[in-house]
Structure 1
Amino acid sequence: MSVISTRKDGDVLVVTSKNPPVNALGQAVRAGLADAIAQAAADDTIKAIVITCEGRTFFAGADITEFGKPPVGPSLPEVIDAIEASAKPVVAAIHGTALGGGLEVALGCHYRIAAASAKLGLPEVKLGLLPGAGGTQRLPRVVGVEAALPMVVKGDPIPAATAERIGLVDKLVADDQLTESGVAFARSVIGASSHPVSSARTDKIDTSLGDAFFDEFRKTELRRLKGFEAPEACIQAVRAAIDLPFADGIKRERELFGQLMTGTQSAALRHVFFAERAASKIDGIPADTPVLPIAKVGILGAGTMGGGIAMNFLTAGIPVTILEREQAALDRGVAIIRKNYERSAARGKFTTDQVAQCMDRLTPTLEMTDLADCDLVIEAVFEHMEVKKEVFTKLDAIVKPGAILASNTSYLNVDEMAAVTKRPEYVLGLHFFSPANVMRLLEIVKAAKTAPAVLKTAMALSKKIGKVAVVSGVCHGFIGNRMLSPRQQAANAMLMQGIAPWAVDDALTDFGMPMGPFQMADLAGLDLGWDKANSKGETIRDVLCERDRRGQKTGKGFYDYDENRRRTPSKEVEEIIAAFAAKSGGAAQSFTSEEIRDRLLFPMVNEGAKILDEGMAQRASDIDTVWINGYGWPAYTGGPMFWADTIGLDTVVAGLKAFGHEVSPYLADKAAKGERFNG
């Protein structure tokens, strides 16, 4: 069956795409569209054309599985040019999402109508690219540069109502009358003497917008996109719509697109895109495995973590019973949840009614028996195995048979917790990252006896609450924290070699991490796990804590902090480190920023290789997904394992040997064979 069908509705040709699930603009779709336009041109009884799509969405973008493969015509720019050149008016009837190439097709049409629920956008920048089929040139001509620039550079879709307001959509119509409305609209413009051609429009181009306008945009909008190459290329492409005629602007767009497509950042970001989707696929689970119903969730602990976890379910419409031991702690936790929702509402994320609905789904309690009818119970109590075992023993006795029991542990052995229950097949780890209502990552820890249906249910639930889930086996620290440990050891070792903590941190922030290990330590508090009574000044941390340098909360830690928590290097810390380094007897070292970075990151890659070798992660891209979504690893490098692939595994092995590390046999073998972690 053809992916593009045509039918006549009187004097209007209705062209329909049937390419589920998202009507991606693959070769067959492109060829079908070109043929349909040619068919309309050759038939004198056809006076107008409507382009629409079956299923849940309009064209939602290019077929990215074609990326990197030899192109097969017609190209998308050729198809869009043919649509725009039609002597008969072409109307795009949009529902669902018109994204990327889909919006570029719509911009090639003379008119655009949209279902009120539709969204339109150019998200190519999120794959390290820019719209490459005329989008950077047509959109500014249709809506003006000021409206087009953020759409192209930031890549976020806009609702149909906004699209109508800025002139991108000509008319909003009812969702269930899209095709009929498209035909009626097309018929209404048949008699017009001319039809708007996006590429020929100049009425929305403000030639007075110069360097100052674009520089201000960079200053205000690109701070959070530091390190990404595509946003700047997008700015340059949109600038071309002002400075150059359309044909020359298209050439500039293609030139910039080619530079990005062949660069490492786009390859990395496309890897990230596919990695997130691959993470949801778990080997060994039969397709007919059922997903268990989760109608009510229980949470032990109303602290920062427990409250944040609760918000995920409340926002998704799932009732939550939250348990604390004391009324004051319970009241405080509920108040913080409400405050977080109200803060989000003030930013426009929720309405007042939605906040009220979320809070109505929350049942606070001091009685563990109130968790009896929950389908899933997550404990977020103190990170101590004996405490966890006690909790699981009690829950197993109280909560109904068939309910899932989960631990939010970040390090501890989930198998040990499962062993104290009579339902080990219903136990697993759900490691949320703080703040749990914001961070996208969820490590799902598969215990030895976790049933396939329980694992599949956890994966489905993670999607419902908007998380990117990655499955880990049971090992100390799972995937993310296990790899963090060798990095911290390497950082501490460098202090003993006389390297300043700010030099270590700067090497990572220059690489693109949000903060370095010593900034992170100051934020968490240096006294976390420190025993004042038994401290003997044996480590740098001991001395810092003894001097009340306990991190940001005391105004000083590895750094000195002002009242706004801005950090500056500390002379006192420098002296403490120098004394320890001298005592260790080694000569003070000097490393470049790149050498520091490699000493920190190569051991992480080595640990990642061990995780893969042990089967604790299913694939290298899962490790990349964990680090990008849970630890702020710069997405434009693709994650630690993809970054290692990019610089060469032989480079990593040579560095590890030079630093005195034992190289994982799995890593050494791959390097020797010239292989990559990711395919």
Structure 2
Amino acid sequence: MIQTEQHGAVRVIVIGNPPVNALGAAVRQGLAEAIAKAEADDATRAIVLRGAGRLFSGGADIREFDQPSIEPFLPELLDVIEAGATPVVAALHGTAFGGGLELAMACHYRVAAPSARLGLPEVRIGLLPGAGGTQRLPRLAGIEASLQMILSGDPVTARQAATSGLVDRVIEEARLTEDAVTFALEVAVPGGPRRTAGLAPTLEEGAFERAAERSRRQAGLDAPVACLEAIRGAVELPFREGIARERALFERLAKGRQSQALRHVFFAERACGKVDDLPQDIRTLPIARVGIVGAGTMGGGIAMNFLSAGLPVTLVEREQAAIDRGVAIIRRNYERTARRGRLTQEQVEAAMALLSPSLAFEDLAACDLVIEAVFETLAIKQEVFRRLDGIVREGAILATNTSYLDVDAIAAVTRRPSHVLGLHFFSPANVMRLLEVVRGAATAPEVLATAMATAKRIGKVAVVARVCHGFIGNRMLEPRQRQAERLVLEGARPQDVDRVLRDFGMPMGPFQMADLAGLDLGWDEASSSGGTLREMLCERGRRGQKNGRGYYDYDDERNRTASGEVEALIRDFAVRSGITQRAIPDDEIRERLLYPMVDEGARILAEGIAQRASDIDVVWVNGYGWPAATGGPMFWADGIGLATVVAGLRRHGGDTAVSNALAERAASGRNLVS
């Protein structure tokens, strides 16, 4: 894992631990030995430390956080490196993240290739840099830059790092080792190396106040508060006392439920890409051109994923006005991103040049993957697939973007059910990370593997689901929505139900979500009987945000206010239904909304719709805004206890009995997330 090379008077130590050169126990042991040998060699005037492959180091091995510690510990190893008499130069390329950057900061000097990105992302898993990062970064880059990097977790470029003082010199990528060796000889002068711990941090006026204001958006999270406290230690305390404060804060966070939850999500997002019954060496199909049927909001958003990844897209619509509108929206979205500085105008034009709008299905013939994004009606989707099956080349993949419908019934109208599956993008499709990959009964293994590889190519977090109504996410949404409607009939107001979920950490409540999606989604005016609250609202012309009247009233800026008309309608409906209304406490609202979701998740697991409980958590965190700091519904339920969930379901009396899948786990003391 550790290799050494002698370049004259400079010892080059190379960290090799694929895929990210993580600083696990074996790497730390090897690094300690290599440094000690170089220090003991009188012919070695300086040391260069670099990473093998494409990057310096992705940081600590997070899996070790929940295991017994193995010496040498990273903080102690970094202290040894910094205290050494032989100057150590970190040569950075690719990424230097987390413990990798902390290692670089413990070195006496840093050089970086222009491509290097440096960051401390620990706050994203509920931690703070725990190997001296909160103390060394302020001494190199100042308090302002340190607060920005540590509280956001966002990386900086090599040029930005050089401007702040974090990096001493930017050097050529192709000559990384050679130029680092040259630099090491320049700094190997009498008087000893420069040690970061001996530097004084630069405190810009108002830096902490500005950081506190920015971190209000992270209210309720423990890690940002601890990060601020640790960084203050760099200003208020001597280095050693600041390190002690950092370590105490780190250990407190690491044992806390928030960090455990965020680490669960971290590993769950990496596990969800593994399909249990697919061999690792399975052949995938080439995807060089993508076709999309439907240029509406969803179709256009889907197209942007592929255009941004450099894949040409043929976008088909029935009418010229629809295709023109769709192309205009795509361009407008790209232009907005460019104005925010996230794209150059050249990148915008390059993406748009890959788009081929068309009114002819025949133009999809040569596509390798065609995604249907038309109206959510089975008969319409089946007709689209019949047409595609007769046009698109044999061996190409046909995918439906359905949110609920039977993928097998759609595949059955084609002569290629083995090459049909669901690709359920979430709106807005060009922004949301989640992609549910729905595996049909006949979907071929190589087709599924290709879909998963393509999802990764376009930057999505893909979760495999089997076929059922609503798959994973929307299937769990339905019992929550039923409970929400029962709650308002029993006396809770829509705004109270929504508030309870927002207080829990969700971005919006069920009635806000219904208004956003449109109350008339799936509603048929011809067959409507006013038998449900939603039907009654639609019959009154209350269709949601689209016309300014749903469960809420909306102004021209779509700001919502409680609707007296809706509250009166709910009261009248309750009276006609024989329901006595009462005040309902927040705890009951929360339990009645969330516990049925957990029960449905247990059913999904038992039926094999999802591969693993953590996949369900990935769906809800990335597709529906479930607060990541609770780990997702399955991890959260384990934390409060499955017996508590079962007791709550029985106490409140849900629409159906508690599932055997959940009741048996609770009775046996087993968790959902193993």
Q: Normalising by the residue count of structure 2, what TM-score does the alignment of the two structures yield?
A: 0.97
- The sequence identity of aligned pairs, in percent, is 61
2:480 pairs, out of 476, 481, 487, with 487
SS at match of 1:499: coil
- Contact (CA 8 Å) 1:408, 1:431: kept in 2 or not? yes
**Taking structure 1 as reference, are residues 529 and 284 closer, same or farther at Cα in structure 2, changes over 3 Å only?**
closer
522-531 or 462-471, which moves further after superposition?
522-531
Per-residue CA deviations over 1:133-184 (Å, capped at 9, x if unaligned) read 0000110111000011011111111111111111111111111211111111
**1:126-205 correspondence to structure 2 within 5 Å:** 126-202=124-200, 204-205=201-202
1:669 paired with 2:667, answer no
Structure 1 residue runs of 5 or longer lacking an equivalent are none
1:539 pairs, out of 532, 540, 546, with 532
1:298 pairs, out of 272, 275, 291, with 291
Instruction: Report how far residue 506 of structure 1 moved.
Output: 0.7
Aligned twin of 2:220: 227
For the residues of structure 2 that align with 1:259 and 1:74, how far apart are their CA atoms?
Answer: 21
Instruction: Report how far residue 25 of structure 1 moved.
Output: 0.5
Instruction: Report how far residue 317 of structure 1 moved.
Output: 0.7
For the residues of structure 2 that align with 1:215 and 1:674, how far apart are their CA atoms?
Answer: 47
Aligned twin of 2:236: 243
1:507 paired with 2:500, answer yes
- Contact (CA 8 Å) 1:37, 1:82: kept in 2 or not? no
For the residues of structure 2 that align with 1:193 and 1:164, how far apart are their CA atoms?
Answer: 24
Per-residue CA deviations over 1:171-212 (Å, capped at 9, x if unaligned) read 11111211111111110111253432111111x422x74xx6
- Contact (CA 8 Å) 2:483, 2:592: kept in 1 or not? yes
Aligned twin of 1:588: 581
1:474 alignment partner AA: V
SS at match of 1:632: coil
1:398 alignment partner AA: I
2:418 alignment partner AA: E
**1:409-448 correspondence to structure 2 within 5 Å:** 409-448=402-441
Aligned twin of 1:214: 208
565-574 or 492-501, which moves further after superposition?
565-574
486-495 or 228-237, which moves further after superposition?
228-237
Per-residue CA deviations over 1:410-456 (Å, capped at 9, x if unaligned) read 11101111111111100000011111111100000000000000000
555-564 or 165-174, which moves further after superposition?
555-564
Aligned twin of 1:51: 49
2:553 alignment partner AA: D
Aligned twin of 1:8: 6
Aligned twin of 1:615: 608
- Contact (CA 8 Å) 1:115, 1:175: kept in 2 or not? yes
Aligned twin of 1:29: 27
**1:18-417 correspondence to structure 2 within 5 Å:** 18-202=16-200, 204-206=201-203, 209=205, 213-223=207-217, 225-417=218-410
For the residues of structure 2 that align with 1:556 and 1:301, how far apart are their CA atoms?
Answer: 27
For the residues of structure 1 that align with 2:40 and 2:387, how far apart are their CA atoms?
Answer: 77
Aligned twin of 1:574: 567
For the residues of structure 1 that align with 2:431 and 2:356, how far apart are their CA atoms?
Answer: 22
**Structure 1: which 4+ aligned runs deviate by more than 6 Å?**
none
For the residues of structure 1 that align with 2:35 and 2:584, how far apart are their CA atoms?
Answer: 63
For the residues of structure 2 that align with 1:564 and 1:328, how far apart are their CA atoms?
Answer: 26
SS at match of 1:67: helix
1:17 pairs, out of 1, 15, 18, with 15
SS at match of 1:677: coil
- Contact (CA 8 Å) 1:127, 1:269: kept in 2 or not? yes
Instruction: Report how far residue 532 of structure 1 moved.
Output: 4.4
Instruction: Report how far residue 227 of structure 1 moved.
Output: 3.0
- Contact (CA 8 Å) 2:601, 2:634: kept in 1 or not? yes
SS at match of 1:176: coil
1:606 pairs, out of 599, 604, 623, with 599
2:210 alignment partner AA: E
**Taking structure 1 as reference, are residues 190 and 216 closer, same or farther at Cα in structure 2, changes over 3 Å only?**
closer
Instruction: Report how far residue 537 of structure 1 moved.
Output: 4.3
Structure 2 residue runs of 5 or longer lacking an equivalent are none
SS at match of 2:175: helix
1:603 alignment partner AA: P
For the residues of structure 2 that align with 1:553 and 1:403, how far apart are their CA atoms?
Answer: 37
**1:631-642 correspondence to structure 2 within 5 Å:** 631-642=624-635
For the residues of structure 2 that align with 1:618 and 1:568, how far apart are their CA atoms?
Answer: 41
Per-residue CA deviations over 1:7-65 (Å, capped at 9, x if unaligned) read 32222121111211111101111122222222233222221111111112112100112
Instruction: Report how far residue 562 of structure 1 moved.
Output: 3.5
For the residues of structure 2 that align with 1:556 and 1:298, how far apart are their CA atoms?
Answer: 36
For the residues of structure 2 that align with 1:673 and 1:32, how far apart are their CA atoms?
Answer: 45
For the residues of structure 2 that align with 1:234 and 1:529, how far apart are their CA atoms?
Answer: 48
Instruction: Report how far residue 213 of structure 1 moved.
Output: 3.9
Per-residue CA deviations over 1:219-238 (Å, capped at 9, x if unaligned) read 23441x33322112111111
SS at match of 2:50: strand
Per-residue CA deviations over 1:273-319 (Å, capped at 9, x if unaligned) read 11011111101112332110001111101111111111111111111
Per-residue CA deviations over 1:631-654 (Å, capped at 9, x if unaligned) read 011001111111111111111111
- Contact (CA 8 Å) 1:624, 1:638: kept in 2 or not? yes
- Contact (CA 8 Å) 2:491, 2:584: kept in 1 or not? no
For the residues of structure 2 that align with 1:665 and 1:86, how far apart are their CA atoms?
Answer: 62
- Contact (CA 8 Å) 2:89, 2:184: kept in 1 or not? yes
2:212 alignment partner AA: R
1:497 pairs, out of 490, 494, 517, with 490
**Taking structure 1 as reference, are residues 396 and 563 closer, same or farther at Cα in structure 2, changes over 3 Å only?**
closer
For the residues of structure 1 that align with 2:263 and 2:296, how far apart are their CA atoms?
Answer: 37
- Contact (CA 8 Å) 2:423, 2:438: kept in 1 or not? yes
Per-residue CA deviations over 1:606-633 (Å, capped at 9, x if unaligned) read 1111111110100000110001111011
SS at match of 2:211: helix
1:464 paired with 2:439, answer no
For the residues of structure 2 that align with 1:369 and 1:548, how far apart are their CA atoms?
Answer: 40
CA RMSD, aligned part only?
A: 1.5
SS at match of 2:314: strand
- Contact (CA 8 Å) 1:227, 1:512: kept in 2 or not? no
For the residues of structure 2 that align with 1:623 and 1:333, how far apart are their CA atoms?
Answer: 32
- Contact (CA 8 Å) 1:121, 1:155: kept in 2 or not? yes
Q: Normalising by the residue count of structure 1, what TM-score does the alignment of the two structures yield?
A: 0.97
For the residues of structure 1 that align with 2:96 and 2:348, how far apart are their CA atoms?
Answer: 30
**Taking structure 1 as reference, are residues 382 and 594 closer, same or farther at Cα in structure 2, changes over 3 Å only?**
same
Per-residue CA deviations over 1:505-545 (Å, capped at 9, x if unaligned) read 01100000000001111222223334445555443334433
For the residues of structure 2 that align with 1:32 and 1:127, how far apart are their CA atoms?
Answer: 27
- Contact (CA 8 Å) 1:322, 1:364: kept in 2 or not? yes
SS at match of 2:583: coil
For the residues of structure 2 that align with 1:43 and 1:654, how far apart are their CA atoms?
Answer: 68
1:665 alignment partner AA: N
For the residues of structure 2 that align with 1:201 and 1:392, how far apart are their CA atoms?
Answer: 67
2:24 alignment partner AA: G
190-199 or 388-397, which moves further after superposition?
190-199
For the residues of structure 1 that align with 2:359 and 2:374, how far apart are their CA atoms?
Answer: 14
For the residues of structure 2 that align with 1:558 and 1:392, how far apart are their CA atoms?
Answer: 36
617-626 or 535-544, which moves further after superposition?
535-544
For the residues of structure 2 that align with 1:558 and 1:418, how far apart are their CA atoms?
Answer: 37
2:31 alignment partner AA: L
Instruction: Report how far residue 547 of structure 1 moved.
Output: 4.0
